[in-house]
Structure 1
Amino acid sequence: MLTFLELETRLRECAELHERETGAPPDLNRRILARVAITPASEAARPTVKRDVLLSALVAAAILALAIVITVGVRSHFVQPPAPVKPAPAPTPSAPAVPGSVVLINKIQLSSGQVGWLNAARTTPAGPSVVFKTTDGGRHWQQRLQWDGPGAQQMLFQGDDGVVVGQGGVPLFHTTDGGGHWQRMSLPQIVQGEAAGTIYFRNSREGWLLAYTAETYSDAVCAPGGCPSLGVFQTTDGGLHWTQTAKLKPMEVFPGAHLQGPLRFWDGLNGWLVGDSGSQGLPTVYATHDGGRSWRGASLQSPQLGSDESAIIGEPPHFFSREQGLLVVETTVLCQAGACPSPQPTPRSFLYTTSDGGDHWSAPAELPPMGTFGFNRVFFLDAAHYWMVGGPNVASTVDGGRRWTVHRNVVPTDLFLNQPVFSSLSDGWVIATSAKAAVPTIGLYKTTDGGAHWVAVPTPSFDQVP
């Protein structure tokens, strides 16, 4: 298992090797390594949520992210203005899929009972990633956009106006004609190409970005050469223009926290960020009420856990107004020294609410047991109507989570459901994945009666995507 110091050494070697071979933009090496140095490396080892497995995944993700950052940074050293992007052509015969790759449905959005969007991508660093659209409830799909790289972090459409956000904001596309034509947008010049922050769009026009900038500051915590400042940026035109609303010293504002957690904003003043310190226990939920100029952290009361359980935030904060919001915490197995208990405890979910804009959060309220653990399992249509999925089961509430109706085995029992989305009280979609197949099979199901019954929806073919 790599230690933090070993990971930092490997990242340093990668950065220096790349700089020698390709001539990276000025200061890129120092800025990458300064980011690594922001989080203290001296924390003692401790039992965590399947920590060995998760840390291995994070190490791999960090190395991949470094490669993406360097590549994008080199390409964006010569900054181009936002350019129109032609819609992806209709699929034509092409070479077979990359051997060993799998096509996964990454994001879905249901605009109405008939109009929906789907982002799928191959499980290779180069993708490709494709956005498809249906106007007849999934019977037929049209390819609307394609790019090289991982799947979308966010995909949001309101009528013909839409935005597709890549990981960390790269790439960023905007359309005003239902995907017929696209314009590729740029991140703020000061963070251009780095994809090193957390980004969120409230709608297809309003977005926020927290990202490290080229400016640095020095204090007793920073590595030699200084730490990068953290900028808060806002756009109101889909990413065409960005305004910096705040400049922060991250170690003072978010002490010890990793700033890649979920970001949410309700309006130009009120926003929330989940900042995970990497230590045992639930992350801190930070709130701002002045557009990101200042932040206040709120701790969550841990649910009662068994000796073989730990808790993590399974769903980011979701707000229905400036004051009223909620989030979901999940339990998972607590492994120590690589050893996990057997049999493993059944995963549980807990709902937290706030009525003061996230400055304080309620005690946890346990949700119905749904079986298989996973992220993106809850959808909130409004303050009263939620849906939650787990395994082949769907649960719904019409009173803000006080009472639930559970529909069991609504799809074949060898499938587990993920990412439910609803456009109304009746119409919804959900992603279904085979639980036992060596190569996952991904499908799509829809309901027209609020989740009691589901039928399979044809998914677009990826076989002819270049």
Structure 2
Amino acid sequence: MRLLGTLALSTLLLGSAVATPAYAGGQHPPGHGHGHHHAVAWDETVIDADQSFRGLDAVDRRTAWVAGGSATEGAPGRVFRTTDGGRSWDDVSPPGTEGLLFRDVEARSAREAVVLAIGPGDASRIYRTTDGGASWTAAFVNDDPAAFYDCLAFYPGGKRGLALSDPVDGKFRILSTQDSGRTWAVLPDAGMPDTSTEFGFAASGDCLVTAGRTAYFGSGGGASRVFRSDDHGLTWTATDSTIPAGDAAGVFGLAFRTPQQGIAVGGDFAAPADGVDAVAVTRHGRSWRNAGDLAHLGEDVAYLKGRGDRLVVTGESGDVKGTSVSTDGGRSWTQVSTNGYHALDCTRDGACWAAGGSGRVARLAR
């Protein structure tokens, strides 16, 4: 178990009236005001040290799914599920996934989930299960060598969903489903701006997200922008994210509290310790402005349900890892741990889950 800024996180999560400094590693300050604090820590488990987990979807405080790719070339990508709050994890991987890299999972329940494998050509695939991973259907196998899918997301209700590919013929490609992921079809690109110098990041599974009837995705490369669609992916408008662009830089993850109020996080994998301008926020979903700087990459971010503008952001790249918290909608951040993850998800019943490299998964205990 790795303690994660016990006092700072208890203040963040529980809304304590007593403000206390942040101390990483679970160290208590030498003295602080009176008040009641609940212990908070990441309960971390290594499921399979050969896997790097970048796909994560938590259903509730008991049920979560993670998906990853093997560090051993040609070895299978794997999918795991817990239904007991992370005390045990079951390998529910699809068969025949040698060499596949699972980077996103979207789960509706303990039984129904869709996972995305990334890569060029037929390495990009979507699998679907309705029986908790006992069996899987290959719902989509990419047959275009120019396409490379990065992430997927479903709208509320779970019937409609979108998947994002890097640009094909100069425009991001959007894949769509209207039957809960059973079948998928490429949408026309007439409503997509020119994006010939940009690409997406399959960093955390949250480069594409939905909020109500609105979808958003982030880019990097020649430009770092946030794209918005209000018609289920047919037309998109692009806005500068204010997060610096670069060969390995841009927007890595997005989260929305409402269809209009959201946050984008990112950075530069070539300079993972540089978190300057790595956060942007929007109040109306149509323009973005810089928010507080980070001391590490922002690979994924989540609002704490029912806790207003309280946020958690995490990231890891090589030796640089970190988790930070904000109580003011991202305007300022406190790093509460040098432990970080690729993916993060917080549920409506107050649980937060994380997943990362070396087969690590964690649940925020409080």
Asked if 1:322 is matched to 2:252, the reply is: no
Superposition pairs of residues 12-411 of structure 1, within 5 angstroms: 102-146=50-94, 147-159=97-109, 160-167=111-118, 170-186=124-140, 192=143, 194=145, 196-198=147-149, 199-202=151-154, 204-209=158-163, 232-243=174-185, 245-248=187-190, 253-261=193-201, 262-266=207-211, 270-276=214-220, 278-279=221-222, 282-301=223-242, 312-330=249-267, 347-348=275-276, 350-357=278-285, 359-362=286-289, 364-367=290-293, 369-370=294-295, 373-382=296-305, 384-389=309-314, 394-402=323-331, 406-408=335-337
Query: Matched residues in 2 for 1:314 and 1:154: separation?
Result: 16
Q: What do residues 335-376 of structure 1 show as CA deviations (whole Å, max 9, x unaligned)? A: xxxxxxxxx97543543222333x3212x1224x44xx3352
CA gap of 1:392–1:179, structure 2 versus 1, over 3 A, is same
3-state secondary structure, aligned to 1:238:
coil
RMSD in angstroms over aligned alpha carbons? 4.1
Which amino acid in 1 is paired with 2:178?
T
Query: Matched residues in 1 for 2:54 and 2:164: separation?
Result: 23
Query: Matched residues in 2 for 1:245 and 1:266: separation?
Result: 20
Q: What do residues 3-51 of structure 1 show as CA deviations (whole Å, max 9, x unaligned)? A: xxxxxxxxxxxxxxxxxxxxxxxxxxxxxxxxxxxxxxxxxxxxxxxxx
Asked if 1:443 is matched to 2:366, the reply is: no
3-state secondary structure, aligned to 1:129:
coil
When you count strand as a share of all residues, which structure comes out higher? 2
CA gap of 1:247–1:301, structure 2 versus 1, over 3 A, is closer
Aligned with 1:421 (options 336, 345, 358): 345
Which amino acid in 2 is paired with 1:366?
G
Which amino acid in 2 is paired with 1:319?
F
CA gap of 1:297–1:156, structure 2 versus 1, over 3 A, is closer
Residues paired across the two proteins, number: 299
Between stretches 394-403 and 114-123, larger displacement belongs to 394-403
Query: Matched residues in 2 for 1:291 and 1:298: separation?
Result: 18
CA gap of 1:375–1:142, structure 2 versus 1, over 3 A, is same
Query: Matched residues in 2 for 1:174 and 1:319: separation?
Result: 25
Which amino acid in 1 is paired with 2:194?
F
CA gap of 1:398–1:129, structure 2 versus 1, over 3 A, is same
% of aligned pairs identical?
19
Question: Is the Cα–Cα contact under 8 Å of residues 265 and 298 in structure 2 kept in the other structure?
Answer: no
Q: Unaligned 5+ residue runs, structure 1?
A: 1-96, 215-226, 304-308, 335-343, 410-414, 434-440, 450-466
Scaled by the length of structure 1, the TM-score of the pair is 0.53
CA gap of 1:366–1:144, structure 2 versus 1, over 3 A, is same
Question: Is the Cα–Cα contact under 8 Å of residues 60 and 351 in structure 2 kept in the other structure?
Answer: yes
3-state secondary structure, aligned to 1:326:
strand
- Structure with the bigger RCO (C-alpha within 8 Å, sep 6+) is 2
What is the Cα deviation at residue 154 of structure 1? Answer: 0.9
Which amino acid in 2 is paired with 1:396?
V
CA gap of 1:424–1:104, structure 2 versus 1, over 3 A, is same
CA gap of 1:355–1:166, structure 2 versus 1, over 3 A, is same
What is the Cα deviation at residue 385 of structure 1? Answer: 3.0
- Structure with larger Rg: 1
